[in-house]
Amino acid sequence: MKPLWRCARCRRSFANRNQSHSCGSTKPLGEHFAGKPRSVRALFQRVRSAVEACGPVQVLSEKSRIAFHVRMSFMAVSVQKGGLRGHFVFASMHRHPRFLRVDTISRRNHVHHFRIASAQDLDRTFATWIAEAYRVGQQRHLQGRT
């Protein structure tokens, strides 16, 4: 795989050179949880631990979301009073009642939107989805492509 490109201004890394992004759209992680119940922060910590169990990952605290990034961002969550809203990026389309909607970005990039209201939502199925999205973040779905 080609080396990551790093923006000279914000220092964020990207798989593609000169990838479009907003420099300076970061904010301290704790600010996402201001005014929210402690249970939501605990829920996020469980999600973060599950993501980190897959391997090295960058947690990017951005203006409106918290993204998980390897070579590319593969999952993101937004903090709400009643839980977390988020999405996975998968290389293929999945149909499951827990996905609120699926947006197709390209042939190998499908954004699957979800909501997490409690720790019970973080089951084996969810952990499997995290692992699959993590592989997309590594861009393993592109290896061996002709």
> In the chain, where are the structural domains located?
25-142
Q: Are 79 and 96 in contact (CB under 8 A)?
A: no
Burial class, 65, CB count within 10 angstroms (exposed 0-12 / middle 13-18 / buried 19+): middle
Lookup result for tokens 């409690």: 118
Average pLDDT over residues 71-82: 94
Residue-wise pLDDT for 23-45, tens only, equals: 667 789 999 999 999 999 999 99
Q: Between these two residues, 22 and 85, which has the higher pLDDT value?
A: 85
Q: Which pLDDT value is given to residue 72?
A: 86
- Tell me the Ramachandran region of residue 35: left when phi exceeds 0, alpha when psi lies from -120 to 50, beta otherwise: left
Helices of type H across 1-146: 38-52, 124-137
Q: Which percentage of the chain shows pLDDT scores above 70?
A: 81
Question: Identity (one letter) of the amino acid at 103?
Answer: D
Cβ proximity of 63 and 26 under 8 Å: yes
The answer to whether residue 12 scores a pLDDT higher than 90 is: no
DSSP string spanning 106-133?
ETTEEEEEEEE-SGGGSSHHHHHHHHHH
Report pLDDT digits (tens) over 41-72. Answer: 999 999 999 999 999 999 999 889 999 999 88
**Residue 143: pLDDT above 70?**
no
Q: In this predicted structure, what is the pLDDT of residue 20? A: 63
